[in-house]
Amino acid sequence: MIIDGKAEAQKLKEEIKQEVLEKELKLKLVVVIVGDDPASQIYVRNKKLACESVGIQSEIVALESSTTQNVLNETLDKLSSDPSVNGILLQLPLPKHLNEEQALSHINCLKDVDGLTVSNAGKLFLNQTMIAPCTPLGILHLIKSVNPNLQGLNAVVVGRSALVGKPTAQLLLNENCTVTICHSKTKNLKKFTLLADILVVAIGKPKFITGDYIKKDAIVIDVGINRVDGKIVGDVEFESASKIASHITPVPKGVGPMTVAMLLKNLLNLYKLQN
Ligand code: NDP
C-alpha cells in the first residue's frame, strides 16, 4: 500500500487552517535566507505559499551571499526579540563561510520552528519534546497513519544527520520502538535492515535500498530527494521495495509534503507555548 504523503499533508493543513480561522489567530513566520542557491529559493517560496494557504502571515528576509556571521547573528537576534514574530526559520545550508551552529544559537528556542536549536534537540533527547524537526515529525506522522501503536517494533533508521536521521531515531525511541541507527560506516547494512519492521532511509543515494534489503511486510519510509536525469527519485528503489513492504512512501508525494505541513503545525504549537 502506498502511503499518500500529499493527502496526509493536505488533511493536516486543513485542520490548521480551521484552527487559525476559528480562533482568529495572528501568526507570523519569518524565513531567513542567505545567498541565491536556486533549490533553497524554491523551498523558501513553497513555505511562503503554504503559510498563505492556511492564513498565516510570512515574510522572507533575503541576505546577500557575502553577509558576515555578525550581520546574520544580529538579524536572528532582532527577530528573536520582535514580539510580532512567532517563528523563525533559517534556510539551510548556509554559504560555506558561515557557521550554522553559531547562527542557530541566535534563534530564540520558543521561535525555533525547525526544532534545530540545542535546547529543543536536548528536550527531544530527554523526551520532553517541545518542538522537533519538521521532516522527522512528518515521518512519524506517516508511520502512525498506518500503524498507531509502534511499541516494541524494530525500527531501523539509515542515516544519522542532525536534521533527519538522529531526530527520527529519537522520536521512534520515544514511541517505545527498538531502534538501530545505521550510517556510512555500518558493516553489512542488509543484516540490520532485514530486521526492520519500520525502515526509514535518509542517505541521499538514489535507489540505494532495493527489495532484498527489506523485511516482508515492513513499513518503508523513503526520505531521499535525488535529482537523476531531470527526475526526482528517492533512496529506495520503489519497484522492488514495494513488492516486499506492507506500506511504502513514494518520492515525490511522500515525506516532502509532510515536512511543509509539519512546519505549519510547529508554528501553531510555538504560538500556543508563547501565549
Ligand atoms: P546528510 O548528507 O546530512 O546525511 C546522510 C546520512 O546518510 C549520513 O549520516 C551518512 O552517514 C549516511 N549515509 C550515506 N551513505 C550511506 C550508505 N551507503 N549507507 C548507509 N548510510 C549512508 O543528508 P540528510 O539527512 O540531510 O538528507 C538525506 C536525504 O533526505 C537527502 O536525499 C535529502 O535531500 C533528503 N531530505 C528530504 C527531506 C524531505 O522533506 N523529504 C528533508 C531533508 C532531507 P555518515 O554520517 O557516516 O556520513
pLDDT tens digits for 91-123? 999 999 999 999 999 999 999 999 999 999 999
- Cβ(135) – ligand 1 distance below 6 Å: yes
Q: Using CA positions, which residue lies closest to atom 35 of ligand 1?
A: 224
- Cβ(160) – ligand 1 distance below 6 Å: yes
130: confidence class by pLDDT, cuts 50, 70, 90: confident
Ligand 1 probe mutation, 141, 156, 183, most atoms within 8 A of CB: 183
Whole-number Å distance between alpha carbons of 63 and 65: 7
In percent, the amount of the chain with pLDDT more than 90 equals 99
Q: What average pLDDT does this structure show over 238-254? A: 97
Average pLDDT over all residues of the chain = 97
- Cβ(202) – ligand 1 distance below 6 Å: yes
Q: Which of 109, 124, 146 is the last residue of a domain?
A: 109
**Is residue 269 included in any domain, yes or no?**
no
Same domain, 251 and 196: yes
- Cβ(168) – ligand 1 distance below 6 Å: no
The Å distance, Cα 274 to ligand 1 centre, comes to 33
Whole-number Å distance between alpha carbons of 104 and 90: 8
* Lowest-confidence region among 14-18, 69-73, 127-131, 197-201: 127-131
Same domain, 105 and 148: no
Same domain, 90 and 178: no
CATH code of the domain containing 192? 3.40.50.720
The Å distance, Cα 160 to ligand 1 centre, comes to 7
Same domain, 224 and 138: yes
Domain count of the fold of the chain: 2
159: confidence class by pLDDT, cuts 50, 70, 90: very high
Q: What is the value of pTM for the model shown?
A: 0.96
3-state secondary structure of 51: helix
Does 39 score more than 90 pLDDT?
A: no
Q: Give the distance from CA 93 to its chain's centroid.
A: 14
Does 194 score more than 90 pLDDT?
A: yes
- Cβ(51) – ligand 1 distance below 6 Å: no
176: confidence class by pLDDT, cuts 50, 70, 90: very high
156: confidence class by pLDDT, cuts 50, 70, 90: very high
Cis peptide before 252 (omega within 30 of 0): yes
The Å distance, Cα 263 to ligand 1 centre, comes to 20
Q: What average pLDDT does this structure show over 209-230? A: 97
Same domain, 53 and 142: no
CA neighbor of 31 nearest in space, from 16, 43, 22: 43
How does 111-149 read in b/e, with b if 16+ C-beta sit within 10 Å?
bbbbbbbeebbebbeeeebbbbbbbbbbbbbbbebeeee
3-state secondary structure of 112: strand
Q: Using CA positions, which residue lies closest to atom 12 of ligand 1?
A: 159
- Cβ(253) – ligand 1 distance below 6 Å: no
User: What are the beta bridge partners of residue 253?
Assistant: none
Write 48-51 long-range contacts (CB < 8 A, 24+).
50/13, 50/260, 50/261, 50/263, 50/264, 51/264
Does 129 score more than 90 pLDDT?
A: no
3-state secondary structure of 22: helix
Active site members: 47, 91, 114
Q: What average pLDDT does this structure show over 3-25? A: 97
Q: Angle at Cα 258 formed by Cα 58 and Cα 23, nearest 5°?
A: 50
Whole-number Å distance between alpha carbons of 185 and 160: 11
Same domain, 23 and 82: yes
CATH code of the domain containing 79? 3.40.50.10860
pLDDT for the residue numbered 203 = 98
**Is residue 166 included in any domain, yes or no?**
yes
Ligand 1 probe mutation, 42, 91, 164, 182, most atoms within 8 A of CB: 164
- Using an 8 Å Cβ cutoff, are 256 and 225 in contact? yes
3-state secondary structure of 187: coil
pLDDT for the residue numbered 112 = 98
